Structure 1
């Protein structure tokens, strides 16, 4: 007679499935373990009565499944299991197990750059510990720290500081406890990092110095954390423009890492990169290149070519080559960085924006303004999304945009961009930061084009004072600044001073940058201007030709700057009465200009395009409806001065559009061409525009010429310029001899008042 088969109860089947799941998990058969656990859960949930024992089993199964999903990287399912277990937890001890599970999920999410997911989990953890487990502040200190770090990564800096403030209050209670020194030092470091991202450099530096001071109370100088603190201090000094202090701090950090980790370490590579960046700002390009090469070699050996470190280093090489005048190399490096960054996973948009910004700079210098403008837009969009609108990275893009406007003769827009940049720099930097000096120099170039030479000289001397305080005397930026001062001297009739300054500048540039650099070309050009201004055309010619030769090698034969210099050479030949030579050079200039105009459509991006219409002077109905007003001789005198002021504002802004405005005002093509030829030797577009407006005023002989001029600007879509004129008129409308005239203009529909 055989033995009887024993039938398992429902509870025994569930327990058996759970045990089989655990055995499979121990033998690392994860899929089999999941299968047993899921069957066990089905059995429990199909039961007519779920006992406390079943709840305990469910709780344990959900936690086991949670760990499986964590290890598989399936954080969504892990979270679901964790939440299911939380509902079943009936004791604080079980909630503690859940918090451990949540902590593991959070850490794994951070490893996968899921910062928002990790933040949600840590906030959930904090809620459980404070509300359900009734933990004290010290027990949740690490959570405040982790949440603060994640907020910093997500660029939510105020929220980050709020968490760190809670942590500071916890540590302040234990201020006498030396065991908390390390935690306090790391907290100061983290706060310093937040302030750095907020561009609050003084506060950041103070916190990093405090972190170092606290840590050294109980640790040796050769501790790796000490090296980290020195590195942080070096970064802040670099951003403040204190380059020697920065190198000193970086040097101390490097010394520690080399002693402890050796020379084939990623931290060593990063420090070489950082020091190369400082040398770059100091104009020590050979030293900078050497440091970048050392850094790149270590990165290649340790992480390979397809890594964020290598991509961002290519951006740094791009900036270095740009300043050295190696434009093709620079462009290729930025392009290489951009392509690498696009392939990498994670949020690298700010590094991508740096690549766009670099490509914009190079494209602008190569005369590819349409491409430059496009790259500026891409860079600016990222910065505005990711950074504060007062971040210095935005200021750098505004400078590039200003350069584009400047090159197109739109000086009012260029000045606006430079001033936006200066406003940001003044908010975040000390008064003596080199970046502020750079903007002063840019603004000076606008004043030069507007023939405000005293204003330009004032800006240049302010810039020079900063550069001389912060940079070595042979820095290329100082040499280039002397170039600009020399050009002013030439226009002010100080010939000897102009020649002396430019020659000193040239010597520095040749020593530091070599013969084939744009600064050298600029110096030769400015020497030529000095000779030309004093009618020494035979001496000006070879200087112009040297400038052309350098730019030819740098940019190729069809660059707009070369076209402009060809025209200057033609002017020299005309003054020497060698008209055949003048014609040859002028034709070469016109040929380049026609080619570059067909290759670039940036003017459409920078200004409003006018619809097809007859010009305002041909609109007889409009002219007939203009008010007829008589003015006294005294009123006419003040009206003429006001008109001249408005002409200057228009001329400074209209740039190369002056010819279109001339057509709007009814000037025939032959008269426009004659004005252009007469103004060749006088200066830039603003001078031509002023001469055209004065000529038109005499030709028009009407008392309502400013009203008609505004109508012409309206036809061209120059709304911002009309707004500028409106401000001038409103400021002067209460004047005794101008009120009647201004009232007539302000009643015009064109001003939309």
Structure 2
């Protein structure tokens, strides 16, 4: 059976807090021209990444770090400047798929900030969250958990707390605990994330819906079928409002609700939601072919379990033809 949980930011995590993109106006050991150049390089890297010009972005990110290293002294400002440049470089390297190099740059930035007297809670929180995502992407769950938890703690200590970032990280932590079979810890983290999103974004926001979906997937895996049904219903209602009736996110919720309805013996309703999900996926097939294949397989399995071998074979045949066209 398929039940889709989602990390909200795994792979590329960009916290919601405002990223400081400027250096202090007065530099004790760095000329103002150097500070301005660093600012321009950082802006250039972001622009090049948005344009998909990865080679030039690599050159700019490296130049920014090299320039900051050359100006590094014992003063606070030059350390902050290097930490900022390293974070910009690490963000780029992570997007480019160079996980080990990005991890090293992030950790060096954290080390530099740890040696300063300034209050860098926001930047430390942001970098810790990014390190967690790198470890998560690389399958190192222990280190991912450690840095996710550190990020949560730091975001909560900000004034005011960056609660939406806390929600994102709690969601990702919960995903790890769910895969480990620690459903109690996963539930606690998911519900914390859900409460924050519900209060600050509203019941129909796409992230609120995504977490409802994840809680439903957790309850389905844990065998709490009535609770799974209710959470998937909430996710579906929110996605209908946010995305409309013909969006792949809405299709996912129809499919996941169908699985929950199977377990609560609401078989006719389950069939209706399977059919609706497949109809949506077929309209948007190029966007989510693997999800379409999985839901088709689940529906065929459902039909066979209810003695409809012919219907199951027709679904599999139809899916095969459609997927062949987009392969």
- What's the TM-score bracket when you normalise by the shorter of the two chains? 0.5 to 0.7
Match of 2:85 among 80, 87, 98: 98
> Shift of the alpha carbon at 1:208?
1.4
Residue by residue, what CA displacement relative to the aligned partner does 1:308-359 show, whole Å, maximum 9, x if unpaired?
322222332342234234557657867967x959x97xxxxxxxxxxxxxxx
Residue by residue, what CA displacement relative to the aligned partner does 1:623-645 show, whole Å, maximum 9, x if unpaired?
xxxxxxxxxxxxxxxxxxxxxxx
> How do 1:341-740 residues align onto structure 2 when only pairs under 5 Å count?
none
Q: Which residue of 2 aligns with 1:120?
A: 101
> How do 1:328-339 residues align onto structure 2 when only pairs under 5 Å count?
330=312
Structure 2 residue 267 is matched with structure 1 residue 288:
no
Q: Which residue of 2 aligns with 1:202?
A: 184
> How do 1:216-365 residues align onto structure 2 when only pairs under 5 Å count?
216-218=198-200, 220-304=202-286, 307-326=289-308, 330=312
Q: Which residue of 2 aligns with 1:746?
A: none
> Shift of the alpha carbon at 1:234?
1.1
**Equivalents in 2 of 1:212, 1:164: separation in Å?**
17
For the Cα contact (< 8 Å) 2:86–2:108, is it kept in 1?
no
> Shift of the alpha carbon at 1:198?
1.4
Q: Cα distance 1:75–1:179, how it changes in 2: closer, same or farther (>3 A)?
A: same
**Equivalents in 2 of 1:269, 1:83: separation in Å?**
43
**Equivalents in 2 of 1:281, 1:213: separation in Å?**
26
Structure 2 residue 136 is matched with structure 1 residue 155:
no
**Equivalents in 2 of 1:243, 1:276: separation in Å?**
11
Q: Which residue of 1 aligns with 2:195?
A: 213
**Equivalents in 2 of 1:77, 1:95: separation in Å?**
20
Structure 2 residue 128 is matched with structure 1 residue 144:
yes
Q: Cα distance 1:306–1:230, how it changes in 2: closer, same or farther (>3 A)?
A: closer
**Equivalents in 1 of 2:304, 2:192: separation in Å?**
38
Q: Normalising by the residue count of structure 1, what TM-score does the alignment of the two structures yield?
A: 0.32
> Shift of the alpha carbon at 1:162?
0.9
Structure 2 residue 61 is matched with structure 1 residue 82:
yes
**Equivalents in 1 of 2:102, 2:244: separation in Å?**
38
RMSD over aligned Cα atoms: 4.1
Aligned length: 281
**Equivalents in 1 of 2:132, 2:59: separation in Å?**
25
**Equivalents in 2 of 1:250, 1:124: separation in Å?**
40
Structure 2 residue 153 is matched with structure 1 residue 169:
yes
Q: Cα distance 1:72–1:265, how it changes in 2: closer, same or farther (>3 A)?
A: closer
Q: Which residue of 2 aligns with 1:495?
A: none
Q: Cα distance 1:96–1:168, how it changes in 2: closer, same or farther (>3 A)?
A: closer
Q: Which has the higher contact order (CA 8 A, sep 6+)?
A: 2
Q: Normalising by the residue count of structure 2, what TM-score does the alignment of the two structures yield?
A: 0.68
Show structure 1 runs of 5+ residues with no match. 1-51, 345-753
**Equivalents in 1 of 2:170, 2:131: separation in Å?**
15
Match of 1:182 among 164, 167, 173: 164
Q: Cα distance 1:306–1:259, how it changes in 2: closer, same or farther (>3 A)?
A: closer
Q: Cα distance 1:261–1:73, how it changes in 2: closer, same or farther (>3 A)?
A: closer
Q: Cα distance 1:264–1:316, how it changes in 2: closer, same or farther (>3 A)?
A: same
